[in-house]
Chain A
Amino acid sequence: MDRWLTRLLSAIALIIVVAFLTGCAPEPATTEGARVKALYDTFMVAAVVVFALVAGLIGWSIVRYRARDDGREASTAHGNIGLEVAWWSLPTLLVIGLFILTAQVLATVDRRTDDPPLTVTVTGFQWQWQFAYADTDVVLTGSTDGGPELVLPVGERIAFDLESPDVIHAFWVPQFLIKRDIIPGKTNRIELTIQEPGTYRGQCAEFCGLLHDRMTFSIRAVPADEFRTWLSQQGGGG
């Protein structure tokens, strides 16, 4: 009975490891997102190693040290300085390593430039979005029946100024792998560069009241010249 149980336990552990390995973040569409994805994958390698080690030790203890009628006595060990030093320092080293990688990627993702080629003011309101292209009159506003489609150029650094007139929202495009809260009384800015043309789904991520789930929008990323043409067609100057 117990042997059967422990085998089932180990099987579950194995399934979890495999599932963890295969489940990864979406393919990033931005250069910043690519850095985040690479960091995520590094963390995942460390996670799988740690999980396999610890779950393996637990599994081994369950299988090997199950009480049997073999006259074996339980060990009387109750401490070991060498082991304690080892397992205090190993996680410490791992944490320091992961922190250094984090700090490097954070510096890239959070980098701000003085004069990005394109600035879009994003206004999140209850319960839709308004996008305004800087230096133009082009404004896209959504309604709860459907969000606006924001057209953006590929390969150019884009700044988003995030503003809210009411409650806290969050600007999130999953395939950009970045999100930022939109806080009333404060303008947050993120900057990113889209790598791949395509249509991307975006959504408010910070719960903002009744129709939070309908606060969706989409982004269509097109080549830069196509974008300029589109912008002038919308009545935007330059």
Chain B
Amino acid sequence: MTDLAQPVVPARPRGDGIVAYLTTTDHKQIGMLYLGSGLLFFLLAGALALLMRAELSTPGLQFLDEATYNQLFTMHGTGMIFFFASPVALGFANYLIPLQIGAPDVAFPRLNALTYWLFLMGGLIAFSGFLTISGAAAFGWTGYVPLSDGTYSPGPGPNLWIVGLILSGTSGILGAVNFLATVFTMRAPGMTMFRVPIFTWNMLVVSMLIVLTFPVLTSALVMLLIDRTTGAGFFDPAAGGSPILWQHLFWFFGHPEVYILALPFFGIVTETIPVFSGKRLFGYRPMVFATLLIGALSFSVWAHHMFTTGSVSNLFFAITSMAIAIPTGVKFFNWIATMWRGRLRFPSPMLFSIGFLLMFLIGGITGPFLASPPIDYHVQDTYYVVAHMHYVLFGGSVLAAFAGFYFWIPKMTGRMLDERLGHVHFWGLMVGMNLTFFPMHFLGLSGMPRRVADYSGPEWWTPVNLLISLGAVLVALSVLAFVTNIVINVLMGRGREAGDDPWGGYSLEWATTSPPPHHNFTRLPPIRSERPVWDARQADRGVSGEAKARKPGSGGSDG
């Protein structure tokens, strides 16, 4: 077989109408559906957060009561984790994995469509609790029993929450099976495992985590549903059950879930940083190994969320949790070494990647504090944890997701996003998120518990809470800049034509048109490393012409 494949005939014309999307089995359209729906859920769950911040801006209850507030933070967490961060990760994966490994589609295209629709139904059902008389679930996204059982949280809202999560969990499992099969069986000739781009590697590990942990969550949810509807008592101490069992099951899923929400985004910045540094990725194999190690360790850390229960081996979970800092630190050093002595450019995707590095660094550093049981005894369930998790998930995953949007939207739509709006978005978000989340460390340390609609404490809490609320408004405004950017440049089509390879990309998605044809590739460049498009460009211009490679061009498609 030669390196170049024969041109293929598209099986059917591409369509962009609503019916085309409803019946699509194309991984790119499904990926865009995931990304679009994920963003809508981001706006929805973000709006809930703004309502909470409005209530918290001064002490006392102003315009929300506790019942409403409790629903808001429950659905904010549920929405952001299950219906924004996961689907956005899966959306990028759907779009990019087949392109990065040189495949025409995923292994099971119809199953792929099913995962999207199941996720969407799950999200709608979970949020539909707001439409019921007794309101949505109001026991926190962690759904601790006995609070979430039929006695203490009656009504259909919690049941809708459970059914919604079961559907989206099932969707996740099916999607992960699909990605595993795709990466293992559909790689183009020459694309050995150690030439697979890091984003795809990370998604492979994430898929494995999903396959092993989502079933645990799904079974726990089914048990809870049975408890609620029939009074079976899996988690009821009076009936011989155990509330601790729920926490074990939930966190056995819940902590790998944190890495399910982090690794895809690590993957995104590992793709952007080399491109905008004009260098090869530093330490490709150590990066893969670090990903594998994070995935492996994530199975042995779940009960660090349960240090204060007095029911688990705190020392065991302390050392395993702290150990995660090692591969994460290695990733940081390799990212920095990739930038070191490069030629750095700072368009929006790179700005957000740098923002990711700095913000995730803060979230990562507060991690070992929480992994140390004595410190956790003090800060667990306080705003310190809220700050930590938002630096990890907002400063980490959300910033990297935006980097991914700015990086790949030109590929997905053929239109560039506006750089000025991108800068406004970036700076607004950076200032806003630090105003919002950084002071939360101090609130937590000085004794403000999370999940409260009202608070009383030292006097300085009042101005600090107001500052946090103002920061949240700034975050919202900057996100508005992003939405405007997409509406004008993509939906209304005003954006500059992107061309095949606007950034001088490295991996295979840049070797095809923007947007790619239905069958993805007409020709593939030879694959001799994890950056075939860079290789092809070097071969084209000769190694001595490397400087010229700085100019974005259509390198690669001529292989």
Contact = CB atoms under 8 A, between A and B. Distances in A.
A168 B242 CA distance: 12
A201 B458 CA distance: 10
A78 B282 contact: yes
Contacts of B153: 209
Interface stretch (B199-207, B310-318, B399-407): B310-318
Contacts of B310: 180-181, 183, 186, 188
Contact of B377 (A109, A167, A183): A109
A58 B336 contact: yes
Interface string B142-184: 0010110000110000000000000000000000000000000
B559 interface: no
Given A36-B374, A92-B326, A95-B322, A43 B369 contact: yes
Interface string B423-464: 000010011001000100110011101111111110000000
Nearest to B338: A78
Contact of A213 (B284, B323, B452, B547): B452
A74 B144 CA distance: 53
Contacts of A2: 346
B381 interface: yes
Contacts of A76: 279-280
Contact of B243 (A73, A168, A216): A168
Given A211-B66, A212-B452, 5 more contacts: A8-B427, A61-B342, A77-B337, A80-B282, A212-B70
A117 B493 CA distance: 76
A194 interface: no
11 contacts: A12-B430, A25-B446, A75-B342, A79-B285, A80-B282, A95-B319, A106-B314, A184-B243, A188-B310, A209-B139, A212-B452
B107 to A, nearest CB: 31
Size range of the interface on B? Answer: 35 or more
A23 interface: yes
Contacts of A207: 70, 139-140, 144, 147, 381, 450-451
A38 B95 CA distance: 49
Contacts of B309: 181, 183, 188
Interface of A: 2, 5, 8-9, 12-13, 16, 19-20, 23-26, 33, 35-36, 39-40, 43, 46-47, 50-51, 54-55, 57-58, 61-62, 65-67, 71-80, 83-84, 87-88, 90-92, 94-95, 98-99, 102-103, 105-106, 109-110, 126, 166-168, 170, 172, 174-175, 177-181, 183-186, 188, 201, 203-214, 216
Contact of A66 (B146, B152, B344, B454): B344
A79 B449 CA distance: 45
Given A50-B365, A174-B447, A214-B454, A102 B67 contact: no
A167 B286 contact: no
A91 B346 contact: no
Contacts of A99: 318-319, 322
Contacts of A8: 427
Interface in B300-338: 308-311, 314-315, 318-319, 322-323, 325-326, 329-330, 332-334, 336-337
A179 B346 CA distance: 46
Nearest to B529: A78
Nearest to A180: B308
Given A35-B374, A91-B330, A61 B339 contact: yes
Interface in B214-249: 237-238, 242-244
A203 B243 contact: no
B342 A74 contact: yes
Contact of B373 (A102, A175, A211): A102
B66 A16 contact: no
B329 A180 contact: no
A62 B369 CA distance: 29
Interface string B241-281: 01110000000000000000000000000000000011111
Contacts of B380: 179, 205
B358 interface: yes
A76 B544 CA distance: 12
B347 to A, nearest CB: 11
B133 to A, nearest CB: 16
A73 B546 contact: yes
